[in-house]
């Protein structure tokens, strides 16, 4: 995935399901989601037990989120990502984004076969900050 392809994703996306979003404010997932929400993206936390994170209702699965999802941003172990890719496909998301340190060819194949764009091993916050520095705006 090139920087220009990522820039286009950032420019055209408005809704982000954050899978594995921790309710603990010292975790990377929390800081990334908090940043994205402050940048104007609509955040949908996905967590198995929490009820509310960052003032947003929490969903158990991506496909439980009402309305369209642009990006499914994943904070899970690499080996746990294929079921998340399947959920992203069922939810008709546009992008499966595996965060920094997360890569899985099976998950990528599931998503790409269904027509989703796939980003692996890159941080959405870092990429957004780069895009902003380079003059990007939604």
Answer yes or no: is 138 within a domain.
no
Answer yes or no: is 19 within a domain.
yes
pLDDT confidence bin for 130, thresholds 50/70/90: very high
Mean of the pLDDT values across residues 95-118?
Answer: 98
pLDDT above 70: percentage of residues in the chain? 99
Position 138 scores a pLDDT of: 58
CA distances (Å), 87 to each of 19, 42, 62, 72, 84, in order?
10, 19, 6, 9, 5
Mean of the pLDDT values across residues 92-96?
Answer: 98
pLDDT digits (tens, 9 = 90+) for 50-66: 999 999 999 999 999 99
Place of tokens 């929390």: 30
Q: The domain containing residue 29 runs over which residues? A: 3-133
Mean of the pLDDT values across residues 70-79?
Answer: 98
Position 24 scores a pLDDT of: 95
Q: Which of 9-13, 40-44, 85-89, 133-137 has the lowest mean pLDDT?
A: 133-137
Answer yes or no: is 102 within a domain.
yes
Residue 137 has pLDDT above 90, yes or no: no
CATH of the domain at 86: 3.40.50.720
Answer yes or no: is 34 within a domain.
yes
Answer yes or no: is 9 within a domain.
yes
Neighbours of 104 (CB within 10 A): 24
Angle, helices 28-38 vs 124-133, to 10°: value is: 40
How, if at all, do strands 15-19 and 42-46 pair?
parallel
Q: How many independent structural domains does the chain possess?
A: 1
Answer yes or no: is 90 within a domain.
yes
Answer yes or no: is 108 within a domain.
yes
Answer yes or no: is 76 within a domain.
yes
Q: Residue 7 in 3-state DSSP? A: helix
């Amino acid at each position: 995935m090139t920087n220009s392809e990522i820039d286009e994703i950032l420019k055209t996306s408005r809704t982000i399901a954050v899978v594995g979003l921790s309710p603990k404010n010292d975790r990377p997932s929390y800081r990334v989601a908090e940043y994205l929400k402050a940048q104007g993206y609509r955040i949908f936390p996905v967590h198995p037990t929490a009820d509310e994170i960052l003032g947003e209702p929490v969903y158990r699965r991506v496909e439980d989120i009402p309305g369209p999802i642009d990006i499914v941003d994943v904070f899970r172990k690499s080996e746990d990502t294929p079921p998340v890719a399947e959920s992203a496909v069922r939810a008709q998301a546009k992008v499966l984004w595996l965060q920094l340190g997360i890569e899985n060819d099976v998950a990528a194949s599931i998503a790409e076969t269904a027509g989703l764009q796939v980003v692996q091993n890159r941080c959405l916050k870092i990429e957004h900050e780069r895009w902003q520095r380079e003059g990007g705006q939604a």
